[in-house]
Chain A
Amino acid sequence: MTVLSENTEHTEKTEPRSATPARPAPAPRRRKPLGTRAYKAFRVAALIAVVLFLVAPLFWMLLASFKTNVDIYDTGKSFFFTPTGENYANVLQRNNYFVFIFNSFWVAFVSTVLSLVLGVPAAYAMSRFTMHRSALVVLMARVIPGVSLLVPWYYVFSNLKMVGGFEVLILSHMFVSLPLIVYIMMSYFDSLPLELEESAQVDGLTPIGAFRRITLPLSVAGMATAGILSFIFSWNNFMFALVLSGSKTKTLPVAIFDFVSYASIDWGGLMAAATVVTVPIMIIALFTQKYIVSGMTAGATKG
């Protein structure tokens, strides 16, 4: 959760370099800026290199998705070409990606909501009653290789005639979401002061009432963090859907994977498909940046 506060920290450290190092620092201050020109230039160059390294491949994918396959094979047309929307039309209409988009969205949405319903109270109990061993059981799910669960699942669910239905996919994705949500919410509840609940109980609320009316409303940020991350992980999940989805419930990652099983790769279409999967999640990420960062780093700095 530390990262959430970092914006405020940054504003307070624009003080000038002090000339006398021996002066006792009155206000809490950060290190003096490393002032030399060379360092500054190096830093700018390094930052640009980092950004290029991270963004260029995605940019390349985006470019290729607007190229015809002829242009993709023509190395002279790496950056200058006549853009075409044909790949997208192909992918979205002919290959029916709208169905896959819906499937991915639906599975991610339902599994996230259900995991929140199960996970938030559990995380609360585990945090307040320090149920470390119980927490360990739930967190085990993060460690176990998914394949070892897939064989038994496949057996049971195919006997129940559930393979190829949404229920199985949602259940299997909850298996990823639930531990994630419990993990994030536990560290959130740990950081939430007990006093508020206690005073609510003094004022006549039952413990459960205090949880519902005081703690839950205060935890909206934490639940947003957990929910968004769980949605992203579910959207990106490949292995479970590869085994457990049927033709009607195929999710986007599996659809993309199937794209290359044909004899020759339609690169333009493939890149358009890859863009269709990644762009929605990136847009969500841009608007929820703060939550994603705090979720990714939850519990990391407790020491």
Chain B
Amino acid sequence: MSVLTPPRSAQSQPPSSRNADRAAGARENFSAWANQHRKWLFAAPAMIFVGVLIIFPLAWTLYLSLTDSQGSVRAASEFIGLENYVTVLSDVERFWPAVGRTLTFTGVALVCEVVLGMCIALLLWRPFRGEKWVRVAILLPLVATPVAVGMMWRLIFDPNIGFVNQLLGMVGIPPQPWLSGQDTALGTTIFMDVWQWTPMVVLILLAGLTSLSEEPDEAARMDGANAFQRFFFITLPLMMPTVIVAILLRGIDALKTFDILYATKGKGGGSFHEVETLNVYAYGLSFDYNQYGLSSAVLILFFMIIIGSMWLLTMRKKAVSK
């Protein structure tokens, strides 16, 4: 086959030789070789790139987590076995609260986003006038820069000059501390996450809804089921795989949320670590306190939490899809 097509791609041309015929022959040989091995020729560059940038750092993190590395990454460090893990796992002041906050943040945000997202997706399911504008509105939070979004909410939730407290004042509710309150900060950041990412859940669920077949719903309608019954007994079960995909995609990012937390509360998740999730904690250990050994142990544990929850969800999805 290679004889029929002159190899054109730049990569298939070896440096020119004195003998043109031999060069052409070599090119054809190369073309034949390239076509035969295209599977790995195509996939290898990307995989090597990812491999070098991930596998190696990950292995290094694993190694660092077993050492007492701190101060400067270049400073000598000693192998101390699992000591970092013992320290981290017995740390009830920073680590376990951070685990709790990570799970609370992710859990609450996910529930709100999926419930709200499903409601909005159902609203948008049927065509209506002005649909275009609603779709634009849905897109805007999704593409907004998280750091800028964090700054925006900082102004809106400011206890003194923020618009939210102004609104509350109008209906007679006393001003709340929001982001600056020790108990309210985490909830406020969850709200921000819901604002920014519910649209993504809406888009995914809407894609799922539009691909549903009509018949089961139609049949239930003929049997006299009302809208709620049809939703809970027909649409929702059919949508379960899509819902789980949405939870999976959103959950991974929610667990790793960093930008808005760091932008609104700064280092250590605020002065009382109100919003210090695992990611913020690990970042602080690494780059604010240079405790590389400890932070690596935290990261490995964090990574295991992420993989574990993903695995659980994938299992659930398989069960639902059957």
Contact = CB atoms under 8 A, between A and B. Distances in A.
A131 interface: yes
Interface string A1-21: 011001001100110000001
B128 interface: yes
Q: Which of the listed residues A32, A149, A265 has the most CB atoms from chain B within 10 Å of its own CB?
A: A149
B53 interface: yes
Given A204-B4, A239-B283, A274 B200 contact: no
Contact of B47 (A6, A138, A149, A204): A138
Interface in A158-196: 158-159, 171, 174-175, 178-179, 182
A29 interface: yes
A111 B155 CA distance: 33
A141 B54 CA distance: 7
Interface in B144-193: 144-149, 151-156, 160-161, 163, 166
A296 B200 contact: yes
B263 interface: yes
Contact of A285 (B2, B119, B128, B140): B140
A72 B57 CA distance: 46
A271 B145 contact: no
Contact of A54 (B8, B141, B145, B217): B141
Interface in B24-81: 31, 34-35, 38-43, 45-47, 49-51, 53-54, 56-58, 60-61, 64, 73-74
B317 to A, nearest CB: 9
A54 B151 contact: no
Contacts of B258: 146-147, 238-239
Given A151-B73, A274-B151, A54 B40 contact: no
A291 B142 CA distance: 13
Contacts of A64: 155
Contacts of B287: 150, 243
A200 B38 CA distance: 17
A34 B107 CA distance: 34
Interface in B117-158: 119-120, 123-124, 126-128, 130-131, 133-149, 151-156
Given A118-B49, A151-B73, A31 B246 contact: no
B241 interface: yes
Contacts of B126: 30-31, 33-34
Interface stretch (A82-90, A91-99, A218-226, A276-284): A276-284
Contact of A75 (B43, B131, B161): B161
A51 B280 CA distance: 32
A300 B204 contact: yes
A121 B92 CA distance: 48
B114 interface: no
Contacts of A301: 204, 207-208, 211, 242, 245
A257 interface: yes
A252 B203 contact: no
A137 B123 CA distance: 38
Contacts of A46: 119, 123
Contacts of B57: 148-149, 151-153
B204 A297 contact: yes
A43 B123 contact: yes
Contacts of A128: 39
A273 B155 CA distance: 13
B134 A206 contact: no
Contact of B50 (A47, A124, A138): A138
Interface stretch (B93-101, B268-276, B300-308): B300-308
Contact of B282 (A131, A148, A158, A252): A148
A148 B296 contact: yes
B80 to A, nearest CB: 17
Given A125-B41, A303-B321, 13 more contacts: A31-B218, A47-B128, A51-B133, A55-B137, A128-B39, A145-B299, A147-B258, A148-B58, A149-B54, A151-B57, A151-B61, A182-B46, A303-B242
20 contacts: A10-B127, A58-B144, A121-B42, A125-B42, A126-B43, A128-B39, A145-B302, A145-B303, A148-B57, A150-B286, A155-B74, A208-B38, A211-B38, A212-B9, A236-B143, A236-B146, A238-B146, A239-B262, A270-B151, A300-B249
